[in-house]
Amino acid sequence: MTTIVTAVLILLLLALVFGLILGFAAVRFRVEGDPIVEQIDALLPQTQCGQCGYPGCRPYAEAISNGDAINKCPPGGQSTIEALADLLDREVVPLDSEHGEEQPKTVAYIREDECIGCTKCIQACPVDAILGAAKQMHTVIVSECTGCDLCVEPCPVDCIDMLPLPVTPTNWKWPAPVSDPNLILTDRGRGHLLQGGSQ
């Protein structure tokens, strides 16, 4: 009888001690984590283009945290999908083509002599990157444009072009060295997976 009591007591004592240690650790080493939505939002490209079907990147981040698919963001492309999969511990899936294809980064340009000054594009721009006033010519602030495409549709005279950013010595990137094509014969099919993140 006494053995049982001792055993129970010891176990209780142990439970108490470990409980205290764990409780202390939980307070002492608390990790002030970003809420998951913030973390997801930080990975999205913030083009606010709405191609995912949500009105902006943050709503999509909220949707992802509620279990929506992670492959609905064409501007982010494969690298964003990989980063999200990494963060959320989900499977990496290819981009859902229903929402668009991954394309090189573009910037909107207004053909200024054709612009009639209707301000429709200004209202469409999610990041306020278009300047102008009614009956006055509009122009895009190139450094703020996210290339979301949303201003093209409303323009009544079709004077907005989405052009790829010009490569200058300042934004030029060193390319990855190419190995002898002979040597990567079997890797050829896998190349795009490895390289996918670059765009």
Partner 1 sequence: MTRLYSFHGGVHPPENKRQSLGAPIRQAPLPARLILPLQQHIGKPATPLVAVGDTVLKGQKIAEPSGHVSAAIHAPSSGSITYIGLQPVPHASGLESPCIVIETDGQEQWIERQPLTDYQQLDKQALIRHIRNAGIAGLGGAGFPTDIKLNLGRDHIVNTLIINAAECEPYITADDALMRERPDEILSGIEIIAHLLQPSHILIGIEDNKPNAIKALRDAIRARKLPIDLVVVPTRYPSGGEKQLIQLLTGIEVASGSIPADVGIVCQNVGTAAAIYRAVILGEPLISRIVTLTGFALGHRQNYEVLIGTPFSVLLESAEVDRSRMFRLVMGGPMMGISIEDDRIPVIKTTNCIIAATREEMPPSPPAQPCIRCGMCEQVCPASLLPQQLFWFAKGREFDKARHHNLFDCIECGACAYVCPSNIPLVQHYRFAKSEIRNEEAEQLKAAQARERFEARQARLAREEQEKEQRRKERAEAAAREQARKKAEAEQADAGEQDPEAELKKLKTAASIARTKLKKARDALKNAQEKGLDGTDKLEATVLQLEQSAQAAEQAWQNATGVQH
Partner 2 sequence: MALIHLSSPHVSKANATDRVMRLVLLATLPALLALTFFFGWGSLIQLCLAATSALLFEAVCLRLRKRPILFFLRDGSALVTAILLALAIPPFAPWWVVVIGSFTAIVIAKHLYGGLGNNPFNPAMVAYALLLISFPVEMTQWNAPFVLIGDSWKALASFPESLMIIFSGVNHHLIDAYTGATPLEVLKHRGGMTTEEVWRNVPVLSDGVFAWYGISAAWLMGGVFLIYRKVITWHAPFAMISILFLLSSLFYAGDPSNFADPFVHIGVGATMMCAFFIATDPVSCATSNRGKIVFGIGVGALIYIIRTWGSFPDAAAFAILLMNLAAPFIDHYTQPRSYGHRRANRGIGGGR
Binding site for [4Fe-4S] cluster: which residues? 49, 52, 57, 73, 115, 118, 121, 125, 145, 148, 151, 155
Q: Which does 46 bind (CB under 5 to 8 A by kind): partner 2, partner 1, none?
A: partner 1
Q: Which does 38 bind (CB under 5 to 8 A by kind): partner 1, partner 2, none?
A: none
What are the binding residues?
49, 52, 57, 73, 115, 118, 121, 125, 145, 148, 151, 155
List helix spans (H) across 44-174. 57-65, 77-88, 120-124
Signed CA dihedral, 77, 47, 98, 160: sign only: negative
Q: Which residues pair with 107 in a beta bridge?
A: 163
Binding partner 1 by CB under 8 A: which of 1, 28, 128, 135? 128
- How far apart are alpha carbons 188 and 178 in whole angstroms? 12
Q: Does 41 bind partner 1 (CB under 8 A)?
A: yes
Binding partner 1 by CB under 8 A: which of 2, 3, 66, 179? 179
Closest-CA residue to 148 (of 120, 106, 86, 177): 106
Q: Which does 186 bind (CB under 5 to 8 A by kind): partner 2, partner 1, none?
A: partner 2
Binding partner 1 by CB under 8 A: which of 51, 71, 78, 146? 146
List helix spans (H) across 44-185. 57-65, 77-88, 120-124
State in angstroms the smallest separation of the CB of 198 from partner 2. Answer: 18
- How far apart are alpha carbons 119 and 136 in whole angstroms? 9
Binding partner 2 by CB under 8 A: which of 168, 170, 179, 182? 182
- Cα torsion 4, 7, 9, 15 to 10°: value is -140
Selected range binding partner 1 among 6-14, 21-29, 44-52, 92-100, rule: CB under 8 A: 44-52
Q: Does 177 bind partner 2 (CB under 8 A)?
A: yes
The SS3 call for residue 68 is coil
* CB of 192 closer than 8 Å to CB of 94: no
Q: What residues make contact with partner 1 under the rule CB under 8 A?
A: 41, 44-48, 56-58, 126-129, 144, 146, 167-169, 172-177, 179-180, 182-183, 194, 197-198
